Structure 1
Amino acid sequence: MAGPETTRKEPGQAAAPPGADGGQDPAGLGAGLDALEAVPVRRAPLTEVLIRSVLPPIVAIALVLAVWQGLVWAKVTDDYKLPSPARVWAALRDLWLRGELLDIVWTSVSRGLFGFLVALAIGTPLGLVVARVRFVRAAVRPILSGLQSLPSVAWVPPTLIWMGLNDRMMYTVILLGAVPSIANGLVAGIDQVPPLFLRAGRTLGARGLRGAWHILLPAALPGYVAGLKQGWAFAWRSLMAAEIIASSPDLGLGLGQYLENQRNNSDMAGVLLGIFLILFVGIAIELLVFAPVERWVLRSRGLQERAR
Structure 2
Amino acid sequence: MPADTEVKTAADRVAGLDRLELGPATRDEAVLGTWARKAWKGTWPKVLAIAIAVGAWQLVVLSEWRPVFVLPPPARVLDELVQVVPTAKFWDSVLLTMGRAATGFALAVVIGMVIGIAVARFQPLRAAIGSLITGMQTMPSIVWFPFAILLFKISEEAILFVVVLGAAPSIANGLISGIDYVPPTWKRVGQILGMRGFSLYRHLIIPASLPSFVTGLKQGWAFAWRSLMAGELLVIVPGALSIGVRLQTSRDLNDAPGLLAYIIIVLCIGILVDIVFSTVDKALRKRWGLTV
Q: Distance in 2 between matches of 1:167 and 1:248?
A: 7
Gaps of 5+ in 1: 1-41
Point out the more displaced range, 70-79 or 235-244: 70-79
| Bigger radius of gyration among the two | 1
- 1:255: which partner in 2? 243
Q: 1:285 aligns with which of 270, 273, 282?
A: 273
1:266-294 deviation line (CA, Å, top 9, x unaligned): 2221221121111111111111x312211
User: 2:224 matched to 1:235?
Assistant: yes
- Map Cα deviations across residues 212-233 of structure 1 (whole Å, 9 max, x no partner): 0111111111110110001111
In the alignment, which of 262, 270, 277 is matched to residue 258 of structure 2? 270
Q: Give the Å deviation of 1:98.
A: 4.2
TM-score (norm 2): 0.85
1:109 matched to 2:98? yes
Number of the residue aligned with 2:141 = 152
Alignment pair present for 1:194 and 2:165: no
User: Which is worse superposed, 222-231 or 88-97?
Assistant: 88-97
* Alignment correspondent of 1:143: 132
TM-score by length of 1: 0.81
- Distance in structure 2 (CA, Å) of the matches to 1:96 and 1:197: 51
Partner Cα distance (1:77, 1:264) in 2:
19
Alpha-carbon shift at residue 81 of structure 1 (Å) = 2.0
Which residue in 1 is equivalent to 2:44? 55
CA RMSD of aligned residues (A): 1.7
Q: Answer whether contact 2:172 2:216 (CA < 8 A) is retained.
A: yes
Q: Distance in 2 between matches of 1:123 and 1:195?
A: 23
Spell out structure 1 runs of 4+ moving beyond 4 A.
none
1:163-213 deviations in whole A, cap 9, x for unaligned?
011111111111111111110110011111111111111111111000001
Q: Tell me the distance in 1 between the aligned counterparts of 2:38 and 2:229.
A: 33
Query: Per-residue deviation at 1:48?
Result: 2.2
Amino acid in structure 2 at the alignment position of 1:298? R
Question: Matched residue of 2:88: which SS?
Answer: coil
Matches for 1:117-132 after TM superposition, within 5 Å? 117-132=106-121
1:196–1:178: structure 2 CA closer, same or farther, 3 Å change rule?
A: same
Q: 1:67 and 2:56 equivalent?
A: yes
Identity, % of aligned positions = 37
Greater shift in the superposed pair: 187-196 or 65-74: 65-74
- 1-structure distance, mates of 2:197, 2:246: 48
- Show structure 2 runs of 5+ residues with no match: 1-30
C-alpha distance in 2 between matches for 1:236 and 1:214: 31
Q: Any idea what the Cα deviations from partners look like across 1:17-42, whole Å, max 9, x if unmatched? A: xxxxxxxxxxxxxxxxxxxxxxxxx9
Match status 1:303 vs 2:285: no
For residue 217 of structure 1, the aligned residue among 180, 199, 206 is 206
Aligned residues between the structures: 262
Q: Is the 8 A contact 2:156 2:237 kept in 1?
A: no
Separation of aligned partners in 2, 1:270 and 1:158:
31
The offset of 1:90, in angstroms, is 2.3
Alpha-carbon offset, residue 106 of structure 1:
1.3
